[in-house]
DNA sequence: ACTGCAAGGTTCAAATTTGAACTACAGGTC
DNA sequence: GACCTGTAGTTCAAATTTGAACCTTGCAGT
């Protein structure tokens, strides 16, 4: 690792901005969701993913891929949501090992109630702060970054 | 909260990209640092901030502002770093309540040893994936976002 | 000097996260 | 059919994070 290519000014600004924005936005949304809906961001994301999936259910592994947590972390959070009655576990017919997480009616209610406030917070923290052109550029850049990293992980 | 302004396609793509990139990059760097240098990203950032500060030291509060963790989290991590001999605590002459965290010689060594690998990982995950123009746009956008949120927090 | 309130850090218990076993089963190969 | 390797989820202990409660100490107003 001799003679590393250090970051130039723009690169450093991009990196610092990324780290700062990342943490600040995460903190902000975490608090907002906890206060207004009693959910962590992870839990909210689980409900969102399930609600968007056909039948309102997904295999644990699929869910873990869409969120970005470890398998054990997902097990924990799904258990929490199950205790709260927002999600139910069902076994998979074709694969005995498999487990489906399914959003319940109550889960739908909670999600519907939480969504408007969450979207408003996302707008306030990120979306409405940028111009449409900036948003388009951000979407493309971060899309590229995500795709690469996902590919590299597999 | 009636009639919320939902996100349009571009906005949603930007938001999804942000969340995904955020988590993927964080995971990646966390692992890299842990494996190569035995540091968490938070700990690495503490060392970076201290190394960049005059005298290699900062008040705990200043440090907490630059990183984005809670005060108690900082206390914990500084204690860990102190146990490892990378950082030392010193009392503040002008304010008895105050505590300075100061990077030690050993801390400098560890930081110097860790930096090249970390920069390489940052390049691989984010910087080198984007064009210079994209980086400039990213820096500006995320800089705006960070500044706004910092201002809102105070 | 005296009071009241805010700021700086730490401590504490509770919640969460992580990776490394571990159990149980699937799928292909011989 | 026996075997071997890989996959799906869970469990476990250890590390981390968080917010609230808690001391001290600074500081402003009187």
Whole-number average pLDDT of chain A = 94
Has residue A77 been placed in a domain?
yes
Q: Specify the pLDDT at position A1.
A: 53
pLDDT at B2: 58
What pLDDT was estimated at residue A73? 96
Where in the sequence is the domain holding B143, given as residue range(s)? Answer: 10-153
Helix, strand, coil share (%) of chain A residues, nearest 5: 70, 10, 20
User: Where does the pLDDT of residue B22 fall: very low under 50, low under 70, confident under 90, or very high at 90 and above?
Assistant: very high
Tokens for B21?
């990139």
Please report the sign of the dihedral spanned by the C-alpha atoms of residue B37, residue B43, residue B46, residue B50. Answer: negative
Distance between the alpha carbon (CA) of A74 and the C1' atom of D9, Å: 10
Pairing mode, if any, of strands A99-103 and A57-59? antiparallel
A9 is a domain residue: no
| pLDDT tens column, A30-85 | 999 999 999 999 999 999 999 999 999 999 999 998 998 899 999 999 999 999 99
Count of domains for chain B: 1
pLDDT at B143 over 80: yes
Instruction: Using the predicted structure, report yes or no on whether residue A98 has a pLDDT greater than 70.
Output: yes
Q: What are the C-alpha distances in Å from B48 to residues A26, A139, B71, B75?
A: 22, 29, 18, 17
Yes or no: say if A50 and A82 are a contact pair by the CB < 8 Å rule.
no
Share of chain A above pLDDT 70, in %: 97
Using pLDDT thresholds of 50, 70 and 90, give the confidence band for residue B101: very high
| Interface with chain B: mutation pick from A16, A124, A149, highest number of B CBs within 10 Å | A149
Let me know if residue A27 belongs to a domain.
Answer: no
Question: What average pLDDT does the segment B35-60 reach?
Answer: 95
Q: Are strands B57-59 and A87-91 parallel, antiparallel or unpaired?
A: unpaired
> CA B53, C1' D28: Å apart?
32
User: Does A124 reside within a domain?
Assistant: yes
Average pLDDT over residues B123-137: 96
Mean pLDDT of A94-121: 95
A19 found inside a domain: no
Work out the average pLDDT over B5-11. Answer: 94
Closest chain B residue by Cα to residue A49: B16
| Distance C5 C1' – B59 CA (angstroms) | 23
The answer to whether residue B2 sits within a structural domain is no
Chain-chain contact of B138 with A137 (C-beta, under 8 angstroms) = yes
Residues of B in contact with A153 (CB under 8 A): 24
pLDDT for the residue numbered A68? 85
| A95 three-state secondary structure | coil
CB atoms within 10 A of CB B100: 20
B38 φψ region: left (φ > 0), alpha (ψ -120 to 50), beta (else):
left
d(CA B117, CA B139): 22
User: What's the CA A88/C1' D10 distance, rounded, in angstroms?
Assistant: 16
Q: Which residue has the tokens 């123009």?
A: B133
d(CA A36, nearest CA chain B) in Å: 12
Per-residue model confidence as pLDDT tens digits over B63-81: 998 998 899 999 999 999 9
Within 10 angstroms of residue A20's Cβ, the number of other Cβ atoms is: 20
Determine the residue of chain B that is closest to A127 in CA distance: B11
Q: Which pLDDT does position B89 carry in this prediction?
A: 96
Q: Has residue A142 been placed in a domain?
A: yes
Report chain A residues whose CB lies below 8 A from the CB of B137: 134, 137-138, 141
A26 within domain boundaries: no
End-to-end CA distance of chain B: 26
Q: Across the interface, which of B1, B122, B145 has its CB nearest the CB of A129? A: B145
- Smallest CA-to-CA distance from A33 within A23, A22, A45 is with A45
- Give the nucleotide nearest to B69 (CA→C1'): D17
Q: In A, which residues are within 8 Å of B5 by CB distance?
A: 119-120, 123
A16: CB within 7 A of chain D nucleic strand: no
Nearest CA in chain A to B67: A20
B27-36: pLDDT as tens digits: 999 999 999 9
Give the pLDDT of residue A2.
Answer: 58
CATH code of B128's domain: 1.10.10.10
């Amino acid at each position: 690792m001799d003679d590393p290519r250090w970051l130039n000014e723009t690169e450093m600004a991009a990196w610092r901005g990324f780290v700062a924005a990342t943490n600040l936005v995460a903190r902000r949304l975490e608090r907002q969701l906890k206060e207004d809906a009693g959910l962590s961001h992870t839990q909210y994301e689980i409900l969102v993913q399930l609600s968007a999936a056909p039948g309102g259910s997904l295999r644990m592994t699929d869910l873990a891929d869409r969120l970005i947590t470890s398998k054990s972390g997902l097990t924990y959070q799904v258990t929490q949501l199950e205790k709260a009655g927002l999600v139910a576990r069902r076994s998979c017919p074709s694969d005995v090992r498999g487990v489906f997480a399914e959003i319940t009616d109550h889960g739908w209610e909670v999600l519907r109630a939480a969504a408007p406030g969450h979207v408003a917070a996302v707008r306030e923290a990120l979306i409405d702060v940028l111009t449409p052109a900036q948003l388009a550029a951000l979407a493309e850049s971060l899309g590229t970054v995500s795709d690469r990293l996902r590919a590299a992980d597999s």
